[in-house]
Structure 1
Amino acid sequence: MATNEEPPSWAETWGTGGTGDRDAAKTDTTHEDKKKHNSKGTLANVKSATLTGLSKVKVVAVLGAQKVKNGTFTGINWVREKYQKKDSATTGHK
């Protein structure tokens, strides 16, 4: 009963992680899959953090623009009032 197949090596029979260990090959691909999964998870975390940060920046920018608009409006009204007081003072003395 001679076969062309070689008997399993010592590492295949008794060892783990040996050259012929079939489970080691499965473990390596699982490790690679975990790496890919973790990088996708990390990318998703970065994406959500970026979107959150951009939302905050947008809110701050809108509030800043409103403050500038209100300050400009107040300044223009102040100048207009001063001009009207000056104009009414010169008109009243004639």
Structure 2
Amino acid sequence: MSNNFGKVFVLWLAFFCMAGCGMKEVEIDTKNDSVSGVPNPAAQKCVEDGYILEPILENGVPIDSVCVNPDTGRKCEVWKYFRDECSLK
């Protein structure tokens, strides 16, 4: 009986070790809406205009983005930039 217990234990141990090896990092796409998969037009405008899209993180989770002018360092929230309420020049 104890021989079967040992075999089952070793099989379960091997299973859990292999399951842990299968984990991989998930990359977060800040350009797409996580619900619909549709690109964020404000983020697209920022990048297409030659600026850098920088995520705002809260506890390691992106909650918003800012558009950054790499030459001047000026920053605008992406939707304010999209609506021309903030200038990066």
TM-score, length-scaled by structure 1? 0.35
- Structure label with greater radius of gyration: 1
TM score, norm. by length of structure 2: 0.37
Normalized per residue, which structure has more helix? 1
Higher relative contact order (CA 8 A, sep 6+): 2
